[in-house]
Structure 1
Amino acid sequence: MSALLQIRGLHAFYGQGQVLRGVDLEVGRGEIVALLGRNGAGRSSTLKAAMGMLRGSGSVLLDGAELFGLKTFQIARQGLAYVPEERAVFPTLTVQQNLLLGQHGGGVGGVNIDDMLCLMPQLAARRHVAAGALSGGEQQMLSLCRSLMGAPKAIMVDEPTEGLAPAMVKVVAQHLQRLREQGLGVLLVEQKLDIALEIADRVLVMGRGRIVFAGTSSELRRNQAVRRQWLEV
């Protein structure tokens, strides 16, 4: 599988504090890679640094094009999408208006609102409802759809199931699997280990700003030492 998203030697800082210490990872086309670790390990910081939201150094290649050093909106237009943990929908705008804000002409192929509502029919009946009136799960789907409106090549999703009911967790997982089937590369930060291991093609474990394990879901299940040292509370 050819690498679509390649991150090499990524270092990042919050003020004077270093949070990433040489992160290396790859995501292929049509692949879900789960990025696991305890709170503070550097998972969310990796996504933010790749999107140009943190000061640092390194290389971020998307389909062979260097993104590091570009502004966040330029990175998005090159085809790398980012769905933050806080969802960041515009609460006073309708579902349709939020989706329109995601169009910017980048990425590959043409995507419109009807495409998104077919992908996530739960939003279709809420098309003209203010985003602030949606449930947490609906807001998560809206945030994901808004990122897909730019027709990205790869998407980075931060804690998409946080705070969701079990039934909605399954719905979000199914939608992420559909994105893989469509050929997108998905880099997923997820706290729920069972969900991550179920849908990911490969898993990476972070600790203290570095990748400390890389392998398949079954390999991580068998590796009690890694789970005990870097994942379990």
Structure 2
Amino acid sequence: MNALLEIRGLHAFYDQSHVLHGVDLEVRSGEIVSLLGRNGVGRSTMLKAIMGMLRSNGSVRLGGVELAGMKTFQVARQGMAYVPEERAIFPTLTVQQNLLLGQKESKPAALDEAWSLMPRLAERKHVAAGLLSGGEQQMLSLCRSLMGKPRLIMVDEPTEGLASEMVRAVAKHLLALRTQGLGVLLVEQKLSIALDISDRVLVMGHGRIVFAGTPAELRANPAVRQKWLEV
């Protein structure tokens, strides 16, 4: 099967700091790929570089279309969604208003789909987003990105700081996206969650991919876990 997202030789920079060093990766439709590694190895940088938010070079193709050199809004219009670690909701707007900001086309059915996917948000549609719990805000950020009808969604640390119940809820929703045929590129610090829901895992170290394989292969490789993941 052809890759939905195909990255070749990606380098990225923060000012004069060279963070990514020639990264290659692929994500297929209906596949969850988790990007693992210690803090500071370049995982979040990778997502921002793909979205055109950083100075970078290399090839980033989505559905065969070259995204490198596009502005962030142009990348989004090609079908790429990005859920940042900081969630970036609008706290004074209601849940429903936040969702409508992410809408690609004005269709009432899009909101109905959102409420169906996340009934918890439907119950609080008229509540200011800033009054939601951390887990509800994470779900709102995720759901808003889906309003644009993306083909691939990149999610940065969605379970950070969440209670175990909300962690399970977020994992469930990511699995639901896979069954809908979306590609998912996930940056996740919780190894157990990533191994449970991913089809493939990539481990980053020093701005490069140092391991690529299935969750079972990573579980069977203590040397990689000890060198690149464990504290």
Instruction: Normalising by structure 2, report the TM-score.
Output: 0.98
Structure 1 residue 110, shift from structure 2 partner: 9.3
Tell me the alpha carbon deviations over residues 152-211 of structure 1, each in whole angstroms, 9 at most, x when there is no partner: 000000000000000110000000000000000000000000000000000000000000
Structure 1 residue 111, shift from structure 2 partner: 5.8
Closer/same/farther in 2, CA of residues 69 and 218 from structure 1, 3 Å limit: same
Gaps of 5+ in 2: none
Letter in 1 for 2:129: A
Given the alignment of the two structures, is residue 101 of structure 1 paired with residue 90 of structure 2, yes or no?
no
Residue 124 of structure 1: aligned partner = 122
Instruction: Say if 1:103 and 1:150, in contact at 8 Å, map to a contact too.
Output: yes
Instruction: Say if 1:111 and 1:151, in contact at 8 Å, map to a contact too.
Output: no
Closer/same/farther in 2, CA of residues 24 and 100 from structure 1, 3 Å limit: same
Residue 203 of structure 2: aligned partner = 205
Structure 1 residue 103, shift from structure 2 partner: 1.3
Given the alignment of the two structures, is residue 135 of structure 1 paired with residue 133 of structure 2, yes or no?
yes
Letter in 1 for 2:46: T
Partners in 1 of 2:136 and 2:108 — Cα distance? 24
Partners in 2 of 1:110 and 1:33 — Cα distance? 31
- RMSD of aligned alpha carbons: 1.2
Partners in 1 of 2:230 and 2:46 — Cα distance? 21
Partners in 2 of 1:117 and 1:10 — Cα distance? 37
Instruction: Say if 1:111 and 1:150, in contact at 8 Å, map to a contact too.
Output: no
Gaps of 5+ in 1: none
Q: Does the residue aligned with 2:145 lie in a helix, a strand or coil?
A: helix
Instruction: Please give the residue correspondences for 1:1-233 in structure 2 after superposition, counting only pairs within 5 Å.
Output: 1-105=1-105, 112-233=110-231
Tell me the alpha carbon deviations over residues 33-78 of structure 1, each in whole angstroms, 9 at most, x when there is no partner: 0000000011000000000001010111000001111110111111
Instruction: Say if 1:123 and 1:142, in contact at 8 Å, map to a contact too.
Output: yes
Partners in 2 of 1:110 and 1:22 — Cα distance? 43
Letter in 2 for 1:72: T
Q: Does the residue aligned with 2:123 lie in a helix, a strand or coil?
A: helix
Letter in 2 for 1:231: L
Closer/same/farther in 2, CA of residues 78 and 42 from structure 1, 3 Å limit: same
Q: Does the residue aligned with 1:22 lie in a helix, a strand or coil?
A: strand
Partners in 2 of 1:205 and 1:2 — Cα distance? 22
Partners in 1 of 2:170 and 2:116 — Cα distance? 15
Partners in 2 of 1:111 and 1:7 — Cα distance? 33
Partners in 2 of 1:158 and 1:127 — Cα distance? 24
Letter in 2 for 1:166: S
Instruction: Say if 1:12 and 1:21, in contact at 8 Å, map to a contact too.
Output: yes
Instruction: Say if 1:200 and 1:217, in contact at 8 Å, map to a contact too.
Output: yes
Instruction: Say if 1:111 and 1:149, in contact at 8 Å, map to a contact too.
Output: no
Q: Does the residue aligned with 2:162 lie in a helix, a strand or coil?
A: coil
Partners in 1 of 2:5 and 2:36 — Cα distance? 18
